[in-house]
Amino acid sequence: MIKVAKFGGSSVADAAQFKRVKDIVEADSSRRVVVVSAAGKRFSEDHKMTDLLYLCHAHLVYGVSCEPIFRDIERRFCEIRDELGLDINIEADFDDLWEKMDKDMSVDFLVSRGEYFTSRLMASFLGYKFLDASDCIFSDYNGAFDMEKIEAAIKEALQKYHKVVIPGFYSALPSGKIKIMSRGGSDITGALAAAACNADVYENWTDVSGILMADPRIVKNPKPIEKITYAELRELASMGASVLHEESILPVKEKGIPLNIRNTNKPEHPGTMIVETIEKESEKKGRFLTGIAGRKNFEILSLRKHNLDNNSDLRKVLEILENHKIAIEHISLGLDSFSLVFAKSSVESILYDVISEIQKILKPDNIDIQENISLVAAVGRKMTFRPGISGLIFNALGEAKVNIRTIAQGSDELSIVVGVDNSQFDTTVRVLYEGFAG
């Protein structure tokens, strides 16, 4: 049995959090690969190491001294080291780094030092081997990962050292130079490491007890989701539920490795388990909704034309939208009419150009734009084989006087999406949660 445990920034923010991590890791000897982010915020007004390092680089670029920030970062690492009684000469490493700091310093290298130093401290504290990401996570210049090389390097290291700590968030380019990933990228490192060693589970330790069934800013104390499939998670994530870096899903999903989201501050909580499929038997009971997510500020473009040619007229409109790089969220098609939903942000300054192009090419009888629309998705694999679900949902929303402006159901019946006025967004989420999830 082998588990890869990735700890996010808040889980390694200070010495007290390091101790929690150690307790978790030592509680299960199969946690042989530990991936860490850079130390994050200790309290809400605090700064993440990664942000401070970006700030240092900006100072370098503009020729302003970044020494106070740089020494602050050094001090934070030294504090963790001293409180944990570790023997690492951080000062010497920081003096070395300071020597190299000039306006040509690579932002990738500098910013990656957050993960680098946090991991070195963690490896020493756990008594694990420090395995630099530059020696085991390989990518090309476009950011594509070389899975074969990653697998070989991680397997070899595990054989040699048995237990390793890997810094998240960066990889080595073919030139050997360091490349950072997009923000939150340590999730990807963890997923790559889990795929490379064929882990039994990829644990992602953070500061919440799993994925919540609804946004806690809208619903009071929403329950965490116990089990969810990768497909459901994708539906929720695309509608704004953010837990994991999107690119961290694929490496583990492809290998059928379950992903467990856990809370470092409540290790006894089982968190959320994300899996490829769930046994049919357990599916027959319980609530049919897995989660609710939504986003505000969409627009609906509705077009009416007598004798509309569904195929060719729709194709022409889609072509116009594609040329303007407008991503369509939903399409509904009726006799002589169709409507398209897209994000307001994608049409902000070009909407009237787009409409006049459509008018010129299609000569419709009417084009109408509805603004300030929110999309709310009710997601649940169990909706697939239960009749009457949409009736229940629409009934509950109707009773709460929510005016549904558009409806879409994914073809795999995993989700029902309703479009409502922005002003009814919170009510819609609450009605769905209270009626079907709470």
Residues 6 or more apart from 343 whose CB is under 8 A from it?
295, 297, 298, 299, 327, 329
Site membership for ligand ASP, residue 90 (CB under 6 A):
no
| CB-nearer residue toward ligand ASP: 114 or 294 | 114
Let me know: does 426 contact 385? Beta carbons within 8 Å.
no
Query: For residue 332, how many other CB atoms are within 10 A of its CB?
Result: 15
Site membership for ligand ASP, residue 428 (CB under 6 A):
no
Measured between alpha carbons, how far is 255 from 66 in angstroms, rounded to an integer? 44
Measured between alpha carbons, how far is 229 from 415 in angstroms, rounded to an integer? 13
Q: Which helix (H) or strand (E) holds 51?
A: helix 49-61
The DSSP-derived string for 180-191 is E-STTTHHHHHH
- Classify strands 366-379 and 415-421 as parallel, antiparallel or unpaired: antiparallel
Question: Which residue type occupies 116?
Answer: Y
Let me know: does 190 contact 206? Beta carbons within 8 Å.
no
| CB-nearer residue toward ligand ASP: 37 or 428 | 37
Q: How far is the CB of 153 from ligand ASP (least distance, A)?
A: 20
The two three-digit tokens of residue 145, written as one number: 């990962």
| CB-nearer residue toward ligand ASP: 190 or 419 | 190
Number of chain positions touching ligand ASP (CB under 6 A): 12
| CB-nearer residue toward ligand ASP: 65 or 182 | 182
Q: How far is the CB of 37 from ligand ASP (least distance, A)?
A: 3
Q: How far is the CB of 49 from ligand ASP (least distance, A)?
A: 7
Using CB under 6 A, which of 4, 9, 157, 294 touches ligand ASP?
Answer: 9
Site membership for ligand ASP, residue 190 (CB under 6 A):
no
Measured between alpha carbons, how far is 187 from 58 in angstroms, rounded to an integer? 25
Site membership for ligand ASP, residue 160 (CB under 6 A):
no
| CB-nearer residue toward ligand ASP: 13 or 383 | 13
Using CB under 6 A, which of 162, 177, 183, 315 touches ligand ASP?
Answer: 183
Q: Per-residue x/- marks for ligand ASP, 120-159, CB under 6 A? A: ----------------------------------------
Buried b (16+ CB within 10 A) or exposed e, 226-255: ebbbbbbbbbbbebebebbbebbbebbbee
Residue span binding ligand ASP (CB under 6 A) among the ranges 128-136, 179-187, 197-205, 428-436? 179-187
The two three-digit tokens of residue 132, written as one number: 């630099």
Q: Per-residue x/- marks for ligand ASP, 104-123, CB under 6 A? A: ----------x---------
Residue span binding ligand ASP (CB under 6 A) among the ranges 11-19, 181-189, 221-229, 296-304? 181-189
Measured between alpha carbons, how far is 216 from 178 in angstroms, rounded to an integer? 38
Listing from the earlier edge strand, what are the strands of the sheet with 404-409?
A: 328-334, 337-343, 291-304, 366-379, 415-421, 404-409
Listing from the earlier edge strand, what are the strands of the sheet with 164-167?
A: 129-130, 164-167, 31-36, 3-7, 201-206, 259-263, 272-275, 227-229
Question: Which residue type occupies 199?
Answer: A
Q: 373 - beta bridge partners? A: 298, 421
| CB-nearer residue toward ligand ASP: 38 or 56 | 38
Site membership for ligand ASP, residue 260 (CB under 6 A):
no
Using CB under 6 A, which of 138, 169, 205, 298 touches ligand ASP?
Answer: 169
Site membership for ligand ASP, residue 185 (CB under 6 A):
yes
Site membership for ligand ASP, residue 242 (CB under 6 A):
no
Residue span binding ligand ASP (CB under 6 A) among the ranges 84-92, 135-143, 177-185, 216-224? 177-185
Using CB under 6 A, which of 14, 35, 145, 168 touches ligand ASP?
Answer: 168
Site membership for ligand ASP, residue 186 (CB under 6 A):
yes
Site membership for ligand ASP, residue 6 (CB under 6 A):
no
Site membership for ligand ASP, residue 191 (CB under 6 A):
no
Q: How far is the CB of 46 from ligand ASP (least distance, A)?
A: 13
Site membership for ligand ASP, residue 38 (CB under 6 A):
yes
Please give the sequence-ordered ranges of beta strands (E in DSSP) within 69-124, or none if there are none: none
- Give the angle 217-222-225 at the CA atoms, nearest 5°: 125
Residues that bind ligand ASP (CB under 6 A): 9, 37-38, 48, 50, 114, 168-169, 183-186
